[in-house]
């Protein structure tokens, strides 16, 4: 298959940077999702020109290819489902330029997200998108998935923080979308490229915006008797004109699991807790803190606690970030769902999720990026129990149906990839999907660039599961990397 | 493709036939069509669909006739070059208006594209919210026109551009297909982010029927600071310091002596440059912002500094956005350039403009690197000084070439009829082939304004 391609790839990148050894290939079969597939070859380019040559060689051979960053994606975007080549971008990991005066940096796609902020912190700047996997995930993957993060409520997601990128098109052309400055002439191809899950080309350089670091922040933890009351407080905070840097919610099942796991100091007798983080200039946050406290109390909060120091703040966030790992306390495996609803519909959708849990006889814990209506129901199951996983996937699909019925979306940040492609028809009609297909064909006419992703197959939403979900993560893995929730 | 003259010769029977097929009766008489002229070219037919479904019927029927269609909102940007040679049909959006959904606590609003921007703002204001854009012609423009032009104002500094505040859209493509794209919630990564493609496409990819916007809370308090400077670079340096600080003001604008004249609340100044900063947030945050802004201005050598209370700031801002943003300049007698550069290049860009086109009036957004030049141009019928006009045209062309060669993003936003072919050269690395394929994919027959986008698309 793909006669002579491996030799040609070796000629492009050097023999040390191509592998077909089964042991090596198996390291590239997974991302953070339940899906896996073995590529036939893994190639590691060291320059944009090499990426161009690789894409041209694959195209000439009719070989499908998929670019891969750190493999932390949660929807199968970097899984080489059709076989072919994985183009691993890890060697393209240089920060090429930092321009503080113009608040931008130019980086290669394999640069780790957190390394950008690390490099500019001394200048009082930061790269804002902060997916929870930021210690390992790469900027190329962030671009592909349009990653968010806990602080995207106030500052926006990846597409708001990228000025331009150099890409290799599936035709093997090296072009710039956007640039260093704003308002490049022509269509906003950068806008559609970001979040296209690697199906429209491969980024080789990225111009990111840098934002000033904030002077001060306050972190509040409010406990509510019920999820409904907590939701009411969340909507009231937003309606009052306060956009916190982060606004998170967890239900009782989540807080109990977390407390048993890391002891974050969450009240386990509360129906829900809300975490509010406010950022701004020193000496100006007290007014907002008092407003948030007043709103929470008016909505039935029994206790609003403000973190007194950085250690207490970190403990609160550790609790929130450990929610996924803590599910291991409740069952052998869990499945993270990702859906979005208008935030005012939270109480209705939460009770629908509870009804779904009951109908399928499954345990579902809820953590929310409540500020933007992004739900992460965690469905706990036992993969050794026959039929448990199938019921889990079916319950997850029902949750997505509820999100769409309330005017929402089937993914807020994890992407469609393989995992949700058959659920696209819940949200989009044939003509809507046709528009997307036209766009893909304009960029990727032969369909070799990350095939099979994002578009529905002939299966129904909720029955596309091919493999068993990965088991619960060990605590040390959560701390080191953390799933990108 | 059918020529305009043919359509015109047949316009009455075709109009009848199209009315039957689309359910919508066009304007056909030249006098009726004249108000919809694009750069002085009067269309043969004008349709006013009420919905995207009606637009689809019209587009489908017209595409079968091989007609070309120009989409029009309030017509504030109809002198964008290249100007059309002939115009078959204008599809105008004034009847496709109204707000269909607004839930303040969701920070989203769904609105028909022909709705005037000021109507959107007036609907939001009682709830303490606004759509955080302040494009040129803010008092006249429609939502669809603002998005199609992709025009961002100085509020981009804190709130992002229109592209960043559009969540979903219902569009009619060049073959009449209706599609929804994006989402109606504030966060979604389901499918391609195609709404961004329509923002800034100047109506060449499809007709935008309905848009879901992400709105923002109005700051609790606002106040401003205005300073004058002898040197442009000093003002730009102050703007950069402010933008790199944690102060996060809402917006910063820079004015030369000409554009300052349009800002009535500021009065006259003997200094050549004025820097205006709009602060917003809680009361204590606004005070801190003002202090920090004043300190930066002083450190950079401001000649005079004055603070503005909220009322005076808003009065200033209205003039910044409306008069200086375009309304003060007659479209048929003004050349308008927009240059996207880096914040550190703004002073050089301003100097280059003034050197080659001394009559240019400059407004800049120094924190985001955008410079606007409005160049008064004698009318086409003006017999005075044809030689000078030729020199000025040559100067404008060489300015565009110089900026493109320096890597700036250059656009000619508006030009008088005699400069109707003036467009900025594209850089070598611009993805022209991709843009052509995107156009062909969404508008396969080249129905929407053929030849009037970049690179002759």
Distance in Å, alpha carbon of B189 to nearest chain A alpha carbon: 5
* Contact partners, residue A94, CB within 8 Å, separation at least 6: A107, A108, A111
CA distance A480 to A132: 10
In chain A, what residues touch B181 (CB-CB under 8 Å)?
432, 435-436
* Choice among A72-86, A156-170, B369-383, B421-435 with the minimum mean pLDDT: B369-383
Print burial letters for A263-282: b (CB count within 10 Å at least 16), e (below 16): ebebbeebbbbbbbbbbbbe
Nearest CA in chain A to B200: A187
* Contact partners, residue B383, CB within 8 Å, separation at least 6: none
| Selected residue of A161, A164, A185, A374 to mutate for chain B interface (largest B Cβ count, 10 A) | A185
Does A438 contact B244 at a Cβ distance shorter than 8 Å? Answer: no
Distance in Å, alpha carbon of B151 to nearest chain A alpha carbon: 9
B15: confidence class by pLDDT, cuts 50, 70, 90:
confident
Does A343 contact B429 at a Cβ distance shorter than 8 Å? Answer: no
- According to DSSP, the residues that pair with B281 across neighbouring strands are B221
CA distance A260 to A249: 18
Chain position carrying tokens 């935008």: B208
pLDDT on residue A475: 34
**Domain boundaries of chain B, sorted by first residue:** 4-95, 99-217, 222-307, 329-419
| Mean pLDDT, rounded, of chain B | 93
CA distances from A423 to A340, A397, A464, B261 (A): 14, 7, 9, 57
In chain B, what residues touch A341 (CB-CB under 8 Å)?
185
A478: confidence class by pLDDT, cuts 50, 70, 90:
very low
pLDDT on residue A470: 42
Q: What angle do CA B161, A164, B205 make, to 5 degrees?
A: 60
Chain position carrying tokens 């161009």: A52
What is the CATH code for A95-212? 3.30.465.10
Distance in Å, alpha carbon of B184 to nearest chain A alpha carbon: 7
Does B190 contact A410 at a Cβ distance shorter than 8 Å? Answer: yes
Distance in Å, alpha carbon of A24 to nearest chain B alpha carbon: 31
pLDDT on residue A481: 33
Residue range(s) in chain A whose domain bears CATH number 3.30.43.10: 5-88
In chain B, what residues touch A288 (CB-CB under 8 Å)?
282
Nearest CA in chain B to A237: B105
* Choice among A323-332, B13-22, B112-121 with the minimum mean pLDDT: B13-22
CA distances from A444 to A4, A55, A399, A431, A456 (A): 23, 12, 32, 19, 17
Pick from B154, B85, B52: nearest CA to B71: B52
Residue range(s) in chain A whose domain bears CATH number 3.30.70.2740: 331-476
pLDDT for A263 beyond 50: yes
Strand order in the sheet with B304-308: B304-308, B221-229, B273-281, B251-255, B361-365, B370-376, B334-340, B409-414
pLDDT on residue B9: 55
CA distances from A119 to A105, A140, A198 (A): 10, 17, 27
Tokens of A103: 């608040």
Does B285 contact A280 at a Cβ distance shorter than 8 Å? Answer: yes
What is the CATH code for B99-217? 3.30.465.10
Nearest CA in chain B to A454: B191
Does A186 contact B430 at a Cβ distance shorter than 8 Å? Answer: yes
Q: What's the pLDDT tens digit per position in A388-419?
A: 989 999 999 999 999 999 999 999 999 999 99
pLDDT on residue A468: 37
CA distance B136 to B153: 7
Does A372 contact B187 at a Cβ distance shorter than 8 Å? Answer: yes
Distance in Å, alpha carbon of A232 to nearest chain B alpha carbon: 10
CA distance A54 to A47: 11
Q: What's the pLDDT tens digit per position in A421-473?
A: 999 999 999 999 999 999 999 999 999 999 999 999 989 998 755 543 443 33
Distance in Å, alpha carbon of B411 to nearest chain A alpha carbon: 7
CA distance A419 to A34: 8
| Selected residue of A284, A343, A347, A435 to mutate for chain B interface (largest B Cβ count, 10 A) | A435
pLDDT on residue A473: 36
Tokens of A224: 């509510």
In chain A, what residues touch B180 (CB-CB under 8 Å)?
428-429, 432
Burial of A140 (0-12, 13-18, 19+ CB in 10 A): buried
Tokens of B41: 């070219």
In chain B, what residues touch A284 (CB-CB under 8 Å)?
281-282, 284-285, 288
DSSP H stretches of helix in B37-194: 52-65, 117-124, 143-149, 156-159
Nearest CA in chain B to A179: B409
A330: confidence class by pLDDT, cuts 50, 70, 90:
confident
Tokens of A374: 């992004």
pLDDT for A482 beyond 50: no
CA distance B452 to B443: 14
Distance in Å, alpha carbon of B393 to nearest chain A alpha carbon: 21
CA distance B356 to A109: 41
Whether ipTM > 0.90 holds is: yes
Does A342 contact B409 at a Cβ distance shorter than 8 Å? Answer: no
- B128, B240, B431: residue with CB nearest A177: B431
Does A102 contact B369 at a Cβ distance shorter than 8 Å? Answer: yes
Does B342 contact A180 at a Cβ distance shorter than 8 Å? Answer: yes
B4-95 shares its CATH topology with B222-307: no
* Cis peptide leading into residue B365 (ω within 30°): no
Nearest CA in chain A to B157: A211
pLDDT on residue B244: 97
- What is the third-level CATH fold of A331-476? Alpha-Beta Plaits (3.30.70)
Does A188 contact B283 at a Cβ distance shorter than 8 Å? Answer: no
Nearest CA in chain B to A345: B106
B324: confidence class by pLDDT, cuts 50, 70, 90:
confident
pLDDT on residue B429: 84
CA distances from B243 to A99, B158, B336, B370 (A): 14, 10, 26, 14
* Contact partners, residue A167, CB within 8 Å, separation at least 6: A174, A175, A176, A177, A193, A200, A201, A202, A203, A204
pLDDT above 90 covers a percentage of chain B that reads 85
Distance in Å, alpha carbon of A367 to nearest chain B alpha carbon: 16
Does A435 contact B179 at a Cβ distance shorter than 8 Å? Answer: yes
| Mean pLDDT, rounded, of chain A | 93
Does A194 contact B193 at a Cβ distance shorter than 8 Å? Answer: yes
pLDDT for B174 beyond 80: yes
What is the CATH code for A5-88? 3.30.43.10
Locate the DSSP E strands across A332-373. 333-336, 339-340, 363-369
CA distance A199 to A221: 41
pLDDT for B155 beyond 50: yes
- A177, A183, A420: residue with CB nearest B338: A183
CA distance A467 to A76: 12
8 Å CB contact between B138 and B155: no
How many other CB atoms sit within 10 Å of the CB of residue B29? 10
In chain A, what residues touch B205 (CB-CB under 8 Å)?
187
Residue range(s) in chain A whose domain bears CATH number 3.30.70.3450: 216-325
Nearest CA in chain A to B125: A241
pLDDT for A301 beyond 90: yes
Which helix H or strand E contains B345, and what residues bound it? Answer: none
CA distances from A20 to A67, A88, A89, B188 (A): 16, 13, 17, 37
Nearest CA in chain B to A369: B187
Does B244 contact A100 at a Cβ distance shorter than 8 Å? Answer: yes
Does B106 contact A343 at a Cβ distance shorter than 8 Å? Answer: yes
- What is the third-level CATH fold of A216-325? Alpha-Beta Plaits (3.30.70)
Does B187 contact A413 at a Cβ distance shorter than 8 Å? Answer: yes
Give, in words, the CATH class of B4-95: alpha beta
CA distances from A188 to A110, A414, B199 (A): 24, 23, 7
In chain A, what residues touch B100 (CB-CB under 8 Å)?
none
* Contact partners, residue B192, CB within 8 Å, separation at least 6: A192, A195, A196, A200, A436, A439, A440, B181
DSSP H stretches of helix in A160-285: 189-193, 227-239, 252-262
B443: confidence class by pLDDT, cuts 50, 70, 90:
very high
B16: confidence class by pLDDT, cuts 50, 70, 90:
confident
- B180, B189, B369: residue with CB nearest A182: B369
Three-state SS at B66? coil
Mean pLDDT of the B228-242 span: 98
In chain B, what residues touch A408 (CB-CB under 8 Å)?
183-185, 188
pLDDT on residue B380: 57
| Selected residue of A231, A281, A411, A414 to mutate for chain B interface (largest B Cβ count, 10 A) | A281
Does B442 contact A438 at a Cβ distance shorter than 8 Å? Answer: yes
pLDDT on residue B65: 85
Three-state SS at B365? strand
In chain B, what residues touch A166 (CB-CB under 8 Å)?
429
pLDDT for B10 beyond 80: no
CA distance B14 to A208: 52
Does B429 contact A175 at a Cβ distance shorter than 8 Å? Answer: yes
Nearest CA in chain B to A167: B431
Does A340 contact B183 at a Cβ distance shorter than 8 Å? Answer: yes
Does B187 contact A184 at a Cβ distance shorter than 8 Å? Answer: no
> CA dihedral in degrees (A23, A24, A26, A32; nearest 10)?
140
8 Å CB contact between B360 and B353: yes
pLDDT on residue A396: 96
Specify the CATH architecture of the domain B222-307.
2-Layer Sandwich (3.30)
Does B160 contact A156 at a Cβ distance shorter than 8 Å? Answer: yes
Distance in Å, alpha carbon of B6 to nearest chain A alpha carbon: 32
pLDDT on residue B393: 92
- What is the third-level CATH fold of B329-419? Alpha-Beta Plaits (3.30.70)
| Selected residue of A164, A182, A215 to mutate for chain B interface (largest B Cβ count, 10 A) | A182
Burial of A390 (0-12, 13-18, 19+ CB in 10 A): middle
Distance in Å, alpha carbon of A385 to nearest chain B alpha carbon: 32
pLDDT above 70 covers a percentage of chain A that reads 95
Question: Of residues A326 and A140, which shows the higher confidence score?
Answer: A140
């Amino acid at each position: 298959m793909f006669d002579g391609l491996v030799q040609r790839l070796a000629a492009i990148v050097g023999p040390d940077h191509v592998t077909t050894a089964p042991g090596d290939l198996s390291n590239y079969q997974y991302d953070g999702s339940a899906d896996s597939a073995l590529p036939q070859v893994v190639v590691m380019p060291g320059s944009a020109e090499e990426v161009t040559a690789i894409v041209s060689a694959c195209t000439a051979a009719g070989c499908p290819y998929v670019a891969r960053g750190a493999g932390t994606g949660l929807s199968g975007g970097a899984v080489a489902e059709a076989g072919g080549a994985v183009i691993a971008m890890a060697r393209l990991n240089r920060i090429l330029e930092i321009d503080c005066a113009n608040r931008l940096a130019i980086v290669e796609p394999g640069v780790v997200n957190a390394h950008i902020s690390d490099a500019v912190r001394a200048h009082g700047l930061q790269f804002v998108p902060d997916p929870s996997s930021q210690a390992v995930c790469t900027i190329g993957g962030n671009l592909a998935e349009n990653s968010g993060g806990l602080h995207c409520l106030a500052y926006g997601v990846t597409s708001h923080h990228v000025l331009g990128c150099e890409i290799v098109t599936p035709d093997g052309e090296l072009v710039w979308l956007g640039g260093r400055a704003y308002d490049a002439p022509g269509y906003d191809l950068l806008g559609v490229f970001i979040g296209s899950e690697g199906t429209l080309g491969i980024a080789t350089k990225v111009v990111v915006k840098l934002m000033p670091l904030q002077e001060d922040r306050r972190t509040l933890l409010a406990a509510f008797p019920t999820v409904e009351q907590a939701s009411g407080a969340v909507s009231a905070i937003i309606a009052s004109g306060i956009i916190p840097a982060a606004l998170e919610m967890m239900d009782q099942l989540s807080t109990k699991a977390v407390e048993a796991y890391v002891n974050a100091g969450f009240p386990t007798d509360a129906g829900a807790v809300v975490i509010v983080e406010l950022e701004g200039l020193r000496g100006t946050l007290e007014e907002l803190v008092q407003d948030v406290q007043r709103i929470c109390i008016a909505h039935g909060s029994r206790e609003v606690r403000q973190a007194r120091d950085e250690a207490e703040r970190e403990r609160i966030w550790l609790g929130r970030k450990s929610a996924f790992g803590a599910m291991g306390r409740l069952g052998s495996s869990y499945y993270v769902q990702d859906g979005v609803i208008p935030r005012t519909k939270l109480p209705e959708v939460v009770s629908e999720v509870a009804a779904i849990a009951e109908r399928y006889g499954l345990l579902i814990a809820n953590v929310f990026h409540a500020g933007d209506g992004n739900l992460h129901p965690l469905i706990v199951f036992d993969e050794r129990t026959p039929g448990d996983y199938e019921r889990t996937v079916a319950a997850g699909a029902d949750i997505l149906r509820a999100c769409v019925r309330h005017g929402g979306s089937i993914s807020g940040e994890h992407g469609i990839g393989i995992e949700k492609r058959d659920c696209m028809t819940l949200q989009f009609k044939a003509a809507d999907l046709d528009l997307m297909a036209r766009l893909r064909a304009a960029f990727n006419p032969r369909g070799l660039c990350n095939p099979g992703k994002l578009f529905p197959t002939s299966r129904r939403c909720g029955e596309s599961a091919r493999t068993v979900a990965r088991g619960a993560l060990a605590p040390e893995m959560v701390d080191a990397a953390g799933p990108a929730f | 493709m059918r020529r305009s003259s043919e359509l015109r010769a047949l316009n009455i029977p075709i109009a009848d036939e199209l009315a039957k097929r689309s359910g919508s009766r066009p304007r056909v008489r030249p006098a009726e069509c004249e108000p919809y002229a694009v750069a002085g070219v009067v269309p043969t037919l004008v349709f006013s669909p009420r919905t995207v479904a009606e637009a689809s019927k019209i587009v489908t029927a017209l595409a079968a006739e091989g007609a070309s269609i120009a989409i029009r909102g309030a017509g504030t940007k109809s002198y964008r070059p290249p100007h059309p040679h002939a115009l078959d049909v204008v599809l105008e959006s004034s009847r496709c208006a109204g707000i269909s959904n607004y839930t303040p606590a969701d920070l989203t609003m769904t609105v028909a594209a022909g709705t005037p921007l000021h109507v959107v703002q007036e609907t939001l204001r009682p709830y303490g919210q606004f759509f955080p854009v302040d494009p040129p012609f803010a008092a006249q423009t429609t939502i669809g026109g603002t998005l199609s032009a992709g025009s961002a104002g100085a509020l981009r500094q804190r709130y992002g551009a229109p592209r960043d505040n559009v969540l979903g859209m219902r569009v009619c493509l060049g073959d009449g297909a209706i599609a929804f794209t994006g989402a109606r919630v504030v966060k979604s990564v389901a499918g391609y982010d195609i709404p961004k493609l329509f923002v800034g496409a100047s109506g060449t990819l499809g007709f935008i029927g309905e848009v879901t916007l992400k709105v923002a809370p109005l700051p609790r308090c606002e106040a401003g600071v205005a300073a004058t400077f002898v040197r442009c670079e000093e003002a730009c340096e102050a703007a950069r310091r402010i933008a790199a600080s944690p102060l996060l003001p809402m917006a910063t604008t820079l004015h030369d002596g000409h554009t300052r004249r349009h800002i009535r609340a500021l009065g006259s100044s003997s200094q050549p440059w004025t820097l205006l900063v709009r602060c917003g947030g809680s009361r204590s945050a606004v005070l801190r912002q003002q202090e920090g802004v004043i300190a930066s201005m002083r450190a950079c050598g401001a000649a005079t500094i004055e603070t503005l209370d909220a009322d005076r700031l808003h009065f200033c801002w209205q003039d910044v956005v409306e008069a200086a943003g375009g309304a003060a300049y007659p479209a048929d007698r003004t050349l308008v350039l927009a240059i996207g550069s880096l914040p550190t290049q703004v002073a050089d860009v301003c100097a280059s403009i003034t050197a080659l086109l001394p009559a240019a009036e400059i407004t800049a957004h120094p924190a985001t690197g955008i410079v606007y030049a409005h160049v008064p141009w004698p009318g086409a019928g003006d017999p005075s000084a044809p030689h000078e006009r030729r020199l000025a045209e040559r100067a404008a062309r060489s300015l565009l070439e110089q900026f493109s060669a320096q890597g700036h993003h250059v656009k000619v936003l508006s030009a008088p009829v005699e400069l109707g072919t003036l467009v900025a050269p594209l850089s070598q690395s611009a993805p022209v082939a991709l843009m052509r394929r995107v156009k062909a994919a969404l508008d396969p027959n080249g129905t929407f304004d053929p030849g009037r986008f970049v690179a002759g698309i």
